Amino acid sequence: MAIERVLSGMRPTGNLHLGHYNGVLKNWIKLQHEHECLFFVADWHALTTHYDTPEIIEESVWEMVIDWLAAGVDPANSTIFIQSRVPEHAELHTLLSMITPLSWLERVPTYKDQQEKLASKDLSTYGFLGYPLLQSADILIYKATQVPVGEDQIPHIEFTREIARRFNHIYGKEKGFEEKAEAAIKKLGSKRSALYQEMRNAYQQSGDAEALDSARAMIEEQQGMSMGDKERLLGYLEGGGKMILLEPDYKLTPASKMPGLDGQKMSKSYNNTISMREDVDSVAKKIKTMPTDPARVRRTDVGDPAKCPVWQLHQIYSNQATQDWAQAGCKTAGIGCIECKGPVIEGVLAELKPIQERAAQYAEDPTLVKNIVAEGCEKARKLARETMRDVREVMGLNYS
């Protein structure tokens, strides 16, 4: 299997809630055990829409990192950093802007959608138009292969692929590329060299996509070969130059099944959330005041769990026995709604307890959190610098 590098970012624009925990964060926590992972706070992206409330960003950055850590994102298994602490993202953004047609940015669907949705804000800014390009820089600078995102972000990843392709097309070839690629083929050893040539021909002469995939896999698996040579071989395979930027794939985050307090998807904009740091009393109060099946006006009225948002939470937080109890009790008016909500309150509190305990530990030790992030920034920066060296070189900026 090819080596994957996973990268994802989150904008620091407020408290994280159970929807984030059960969707994005649980997915990150799983991925960190499977692949190399980089997770970052997209503070510049937050500024594109929250430029007039910098205090929200400043507060949210550290709180969000604490939430990640408390949820189980593990700095030993993933690199946690802040976008603005790796200024190379901005440099790549500027350089990519030179080859980015305005029309590509204008037709990214989130551009008009968000402008309409956030109509109270003036988003006719240069920064907001460039949002997807900044995101491309975030991704391409690490040569990420997999980007876990929600559905709304897919156009941004597709845009990123187009930018990478355009960049490689314009700048892909380094000086003496063919010779260097031929030399790299020899380094594969005679058997693999022959195989490589065969698969390259099959792809270039008859468009054999399977040959392309096998050749790619063979190159990725090759031990003891430099990154540069691997990239030359990958580029040569397709008839291009050394691949400086890599086209990433998106990895659709399994849709969070987390319903909010009103039965709609949990989301800040619906005002139906339970935050990851919600205190015990507030959790209880929010659930106790949740709407239920409107048919149950009196305690003696029977109800239908299918029409009740509380039942959706039972499906997440209750075991089978409790679910059976709620079903039967609701349909026969054997239990009241307050009684029915009891196990849900307990389930949510049980999920939150260890998270909040860990969050409190991190909150008490800001130096620890800052050290984790500083270390992550350092690691990320090293990777970013490598890519920038190549990018500057091919763009004619490597003065010495």
Interface positions with ligand SF4 (CB under 6 A): 292-293, 296, 303, 305, 308, 310-311, 326, 330, 335, 337, 340-341
The stretch among 2-10, 13-21, 30-38, 92-100 that binds ligand TRP (CB under 6 A) is 2-10
Are 125 and 48 in contact by the 8 Å Cβ rule? The answer is yes
In whole angstroms, give the CA distance from residue 60 to residue 43.
Answer: 9
Task: For the CB of residue 256, give the shortest distance to ligand TRP in the complex, in Å.
Answer: 13
Positions in 84-103 near ligand TRP (CB under 6 A): none
Locate 347 and state its tokens: 């389930």
Measured from the CB atom, the residue of 112 and 288 that comes closer to ligand SF4 is 288
Tell me which of ligand TRP, ligand SF4, none is bound by residue 376, counting a contact when its beta carbon lies within the kind-specific cut-off of 5 to 8 angstroms.
Answer: none
Quick one: which of 160, 156, 155, 147 has its CA closest to 27? 147
The one of ligand SF4, ligand TRP, none whose footprint includes residue 149, by CB under 5 to 8 A per kind, is ligand TRP
The interface partner of residue 37, options being ligand TRP, ligand SF4, none and the CB cut-off 5 to 8 Å by kind, is none
Q: Which stretch binds ligand TRP (CB under 6 A): 30-38, 132-140, 333-341, 363-371?
A: 132-140
Check binding of 11 to ligand TRP (CB under 6 A). Answer: yes
- Told to check if 256 binds ligand TRP by CB under 6 A, we report no
E-strand stretches of 33-182: 36-41, 79-82, 146-149
Which of the choices ligand SF4, ligand TRP, none does residue 172 contact, using the CB cut-off of 5 to 8 A by kind? none
Q: C-alpha distances in angstroms, 8 versus 24, 50, 80, 126?
A: 10, 20, 10, 23
Whose Cβ is closer to ligand TRP: residue 58's or residue 365's? 58
What residues are paired with 149 via a beta bridge? 252
Judged by CB under 6 A, which of 16, 20, 37, 45 binds ligand TRP? 45
- CA distances from residue 222 to 1, 90, 146, 176, 192 in whole angstroms, order as listed: 11, 33, 20, 23, 10
- Specify whether the CB–CB gap between 95 and 391 falls below 8 A: yes
In 3D space, the residue among 230, 235, 237, 228 whose CA is nearest the CA of residue 197 turns out to be: 237
User: Residues 139, 163, 181, 283: which binds ligand TRP (CB under 6 A)?
Assistant: 139
Instruction: Please state, in angstroms and rounded to a whole number, the distance separating the CA atoms of residues 123 and 45.
Output: 13
Bridge pairing between strands 249-252 and 36-41:
unpaired
66 binds, among ligand TRP, ligand SF4, none (CB under 5 to 8 A by kind): none
Residues near ligand TRP (CB under 6 A):
7-9, 11, 42, 45, 135, 138-139, 147, 149, 153
